[in-house]
Structure 1
């Protein structure tokens, strides 16, 4: 085998390994949310059984089941367990989720606008992407969790998380945000702080 062919095979193997690594890494990403939590949860008390309560305006939502499923995973990671009978649950949980589209005016000063990875350089057949291009629109996503004692109706814990991105979000995105929102439980931190959660694509 001549030296030229040997170098070509070695380069091909290296590029193949790099591509496989990139594909593997691309299957997960980190979502960072701004979180604030409130309440007076007793330090020695753990999460008990819960039932999710829907408001009248939430009962006919087509996507409600998916959002509640995402919230349930986060609640159970925080130490709560689903009640076999909603009327006997220790806690009643209300959840909310929304995504708001923000569009930017073409006349808006670029200094104040958000950025995303989309600029490129190089010849057309070898284009590289960099991290600083203006984006025209973004979605502001928010989730909220309110935990009340079923017997008294007293609110005992409230958590909120927000993030923004280029997509409206799905149950995986909202699931990560619910996990971020409940990451402080049972402690509270009313000062907004950042929490990162790994999300599978």
Structure 2
């Protein structure tokens, strides 16, 4: 008896559907956070004004969503935007790109360069060797790791001295823009205004269907 391609693919598709149905909708976003602070407590008043770089102003359509995520994270630690009566001046940074998946070895190509700049900075791409799999399936390239980085710099509005600097870097196979930036801003502000010294790992549970953090505190180690 001759089987059509349709009959060959049906069991494979059914298996894939079962695997997807069993997958959890909760994912852990884990980032490397580094923070530097000269603050001992919230400033009085606990307010800031946002200072956009010229490049960010030119890309306002993209940057608006990132800015909104940052302001929400700042609000969660007690800081509110008040351009007319600000104690602090805020600058926001965000980057995006791809990096090779280290589990696939050096054949995946060179690491990209991520220069400073506005939202979505610079992108880099890699490549991989394909191989045959199953009923005519072909894996042309490994899944890349998404690179996402956010940074926040707070200056004293009167002296212009930097009083708080923090960043969070995330590299994984899953992302959900712009929601993932909101998670990263929250992680970057973990422990504000007196964060733990040195580089640390911060984890947050995220609902992959909505891109929102689940009701749980980010855990740091």
TM-score normalized with structure 1 length: 0.67
Q: In the aligned structure 2, how far is the partner of 1:166 from the partner of 1:144?
A: 21
Q: In the aligned structure 1, how far is the partner of 2:89 from the partner of 2:190?
A: 19
Pick aligned residue for 1:156 from 159, 163, 176: 163
Counterpart residue number, 1:100: 97
Q: In the aligned structure 1, how far is the partner of 2:191 from the partner of 2:163?
A: 14
Shift of 1:44: 6.9
The answer to which structure, 1 or 2, has the higher relative contact order (CA under 8 A, 6+ apart) is: 1
Pick aligned residue for 1:142 from 138, 146, 149: 149
Alpha-carbon spacing, 1:107–1:93, altered in 2? closer, same or farther (3 Å): closer
Q: Which has the larger radius of gyration?
A: 1
Q: Say which structure is richer in strand.
A: 1
Shift of 1:49: 0.9
Shift of 1:78: 1.0
Alpha-carbon spacing, 1:47–1:193, altered in 2? closer, same or farther (3 Å): farther
Q: In the aligned structure 2, how far is the partner of 1:91 from the partner of 1:99?
A: 27
| Secondary structure of the structure 2 residue equivalent to 1:178 | helix
Counterpart residue number, 1:49: 47
Counterpart residue number, 2:63: 64
Q: Is the 8 A contact 1:92 1:150 kept in 2?
A: yes
Counterpart residue number, 2:200: 193
TM-score normalized with structure 2 length: 0.62
Q: In the aligned structure 1, how far is the partner of 2:189 from the partner of 2:84?
A: 24
Q: In the aligned structure 2, how far is the partner of 1:107 from the partner of 1:183?
A: 34
Pairing 1:74–2:73 present = yes
Q: Is the 8 A contact 2:147 2:172 kept in 1?
A: yes
Q: Is the 8 A contact 2:42 2:193 kept in 1?
A: no
Counterpart residue number, 1:33: 31
Q: Is the 8 A contact 2:101 2:143 kept in 1?
A: yes
- Moved beyond 6 Å, runs of 4+: 104-107
Counterpart residue number, 1:131: none
Shift of 1:47: 7.2
Task: Please give the root-mean-square deviation of Cα atoms over the aligned residues, in Å.
Answer: 3.2
Shift of 1:37: 0.5
Q: In the aligned structure 1, how far is the partner of 2:88 from the partner of 2:175?
A: 30
Q: In the aligned structure 1, how far is the partner of 2:178 from the partner of 2:51?
A: 19
